[in-house]
Amino acid sequence: MTVKSFLLFSFTLCAMVSCQTKSEKKEPEKRPNIVFILVDDLGYHDLSFTGSPFYETPNIDDLAQESMVFTQGYAASRVCSPSRASIMTGKFTARHGITDWIGAAYGEDWRKTNRHDKLLPADYEHALPDSEMTLAEALKNEGYKTFFGGKWHLGSKGSYPEDHGFDVNVGGWESGSPKGGYFSPWKNPNLDNRFDGENLSMRLAKETADFIRKHKDSSFFAFLSFYAVHGPIQTAQNKWEKYRAKASKLGIKDRGYKMERVLPIRQVQDNPIYAGLVEHMDDAVGYLLNTLEELGLDDNTIILFTSDNGGVASGDNYSTSNLPLRGGKGYQWEGGIREPYFVKVPWLNTKGMTHDYPVIGTDFYPTILDLAQIELIPDQHTDGLSLKPLLEGQQTLPERPLYWHYPHYGNQGGEPSSIIREGHWKLIHYWEDNRNELYDLQKDPEEKQDVSNLNTEITKALQLKLMQWLKSVDAKQPVKDTLYNDSLSQKRKAYIKSTLLPRLEQERLNVLSIDFEPNPDWWNSKVTTD
């Protein structure tokens, strides 16, 4: 499948997947190995395979070609901790209670951020509850050796990976970003420094590969959770030079941003530092895939690949563009929640297959159990659905609603809102003023036209279903800030347009300049400001 045909398929959402049959390969005699690759903040179009003209990801592209690619794959949240908890539990965020990234301000503390917003964000669970039987625990109970490497961000000490079913934890702790950066020496109590300049993504891949070598004769579950491509964005000088030259060859645009509702948002993929960070991560994926092949384990290993939320187009490091999808990390639109979503099952004929059935991060839990021939636990993975029938060739599964709940303000410009998607309809309910937006994703995947006023009955029905579901899980809501000051809010908005936007444009051109000088040590090459 070419990139062009893949994108056409993905965005028109008009053709059902072709029938497929099982390949001649037999199912493995012992339970399959499972490798889960989770990339942090990777946008839907941050891969060559999904249409990026700028980033180069040959190893992930190869994996996609060997997998079933779900063109409408979603993260369970627009930010990291909630999405990760949903993968581990099989539950939507409002049900497990982690609705914002752990550490985010809420309630009256939100005023300390000087955002001057109308609402005070809701409280949320601050650690993965012990009451949840995680995916790792379910597999461990069936004899799997379990490994976690990389970003955790689901609680502090006492709620680390080893407290939730992982035999080995390398690098997972409460931090949501790579303290100290992507090149050793980093600052991580669960990952020692070996030599200055070592790349973090490759180190995590090697740790995962070492675990696999040690347990190659057992059934194992290895969860490689990259800190990449979360900020601070950093790369090596040779990769910056490569992508700076590529940006120049493609033609550097005069402007790279426009205003979204709250913040500027990046419109072009041309940041050579971020491109290098993406390639470092892809190199690490290649190392891990080569290890499986060298050990002769590739025919008995299920590989799953996804991201925890959309690419950072606003706020944080303004790293990438998710166009033609609207928004990015932290946003309520498709750019904030649509993700690369691949599943490779070697003994099934998934090679080169695509499917447009809407799937989500909660589906991984039952799918993995089902593929490993382990009895499902429906009381645990309540909001997940096994995708095994699709992987085996079934054309579709029953239509179901998908729910997102984010009663918070995103650092990137997203607004407190809840979402329901059912069929090709997507309704966003905003908590500031209780308005709704309705999008027909079949006709308008870029979410350019709110059609709520043209489809009032559909809007009412979806809002009712959304509200009933939120009530059923006792979802927490934001409240009005009685100290809200509109003049301060307007002053902040004026600053963003008059000062922040021009500064971002200049910074973008500086990074693309042949004379660009980062920190003296390229190991700490680029830390942008909010």
Residue 130's pLDDT is 96
Express as a percent the part of the chain with pLDDT over 70.
93
**CA dist., res. 208 & res. 471, Å (int):** 41
Higher pLDDT pick, 239 / 13: 239
pLDDT digits (tens, 9 = 90+) for 143-167: 999 999 999 999 999 999 999 999 9
Q: Give the 3-state secondary structure of residue 526.
A: coil
- The answer to whether the beta carbons of residues 211 and 220 sit under 8 Å apart is yes
**CA dist., res. 189 & res. 185, Å (int):** 12
Q: Give the 3-state secondary structure of residue 517.
A: coil
For residues 72-106, one letter each, b for 16 or more C-beta atoms within 10 angstroms of the residue's C-beta and e for the rest, the string is bbbbbbbbbbbbbbbbbbbbbbbbbbbbbbbebbb
- The answer to whether the beta carbons of residues 104 and 112 sit under 8 Å apart is no
Residue 330's pLDDT is 97
Q: Mean pLDDT across the chain, nearest whole number?
A: 93
Q: Give the 3-state secondary structure of residue 119.
A: strand
Nearest in space to 330 (alpha carbons), one of 119, 100, 11? 100
- The answer to whether the beta carbons of residues 437 and 428 sit under 8 Å apart is yes
Residue 10's pLDDT is 44
Residue 349's pLDDT is 83
Query: What architecture is the 3-16+33-106+119-393 domain classified under in CATH?
Result: 3-Layer(aba) Sandwich (3.40)
Burial of 287 (0-12, 13-18, 19+ CB in 10 A): middle
Question: Among positive and negative, which fits the CA dihedral 413, 416, 421, 427?
Answer: negative
Express as a percent the part of the chain with pLDDT over 90.
89
Residue 517's pLDDT is 82
Residues in a beta bridge with 265: 258
Residue 26's pLDDT is 56
Contacts of 312 (CB under 8 A, 6+ apart): 41, 43, 230, 231, 318, 319, 320, 328, 329, 412
- The answer to whether the beta carbons of residues 85 and 135 sit under 8 Å apart is no
Nearest in space to 91 (alpha carbons), one of 132, 56, 62, 123? 132
pLDDT digits (tens, 9 = 90+) for 314-354: 998 899 999 999 999 999 999 999 999 999 999 998 888 99
pLDDT digits (tens, 9 = 90+) for 395-426: 899 999 999 999 999 999 999 999 999 999 99
Q: With 90 as the cut, is the pLDDT of residue 3 above it?
A: no
**CA dist., res. 202 & res. 39, Å (int):** 13
Residue 25's pLDDT is 56
Domain ranges across the chain: 3-16+33-106+119-393
For residues 322-335, one letter each, b for 16 or more C-beta atoms within 10 angstroms of the residue's C-beta and e for the rest, the string is bbbbbbbbbbbbbb
Residue 23's pLDDT is 38
Residue 27's pLDDT is 59
- The answer to whether the beta carbons of residues 385 and 397 sit under 8 Å apart is yes
Residue 18's pLDDT is 37
Assign 522 a pLDDT band (cuts: 50, 70, 90): low
Calculate mean pLDDT across residues 104-120.
Answer: 96
Calculate mean pLDDT across residues 435-463.
Answer: 98
Residues in a beta bridge with 120: 479
Calculate mean pLDDT across residues 381-399.
Answer: 95
pLDDT digits (tens, 9 = 90+) for 5-35: 444 334 333 333 333 333 345 556 689 999 9
Calculate mean pLDDT across residues 42-66.
Answer: 97
Assign 523 a pLDDT band (cuts: 50, 70, 90): low
As a residue count, the chain comes to 530
Q: What is the DSSP letter of 498?
A: I
- The phi-psi region of residue 200 (left if phi > 0; otherwise alpha if psi is between -120 and 50; otherwise beta) is alpha
Burial of 451 (0-12, 13-18, 19+ CB in 10 A): middle
Calculate mean pLDDT across residues 386-399.
Answer: 94
Calculate mean pLDDT across residues 475-491.
Answer: 97
Cis peptide before 229 (omega within 30 of 0): yes
- DSSP codes, 355-389: E-S-EEGGGHHHHHHHHTT----TTTSTT----HH
Q: With 70 as the cut, is the pLDDT of residue 530 above it?
A: no
Calculate mean pLDDT across residues 461-476.
Answer: 98
Quickly count: other Cβ atoms within 10 Å of residue 404's Cβ.
Answer: 28
Q: With 60 as the cut, is the pLDDT of residue 440 above it?
A: yes
Tokens of 194: 């070996």
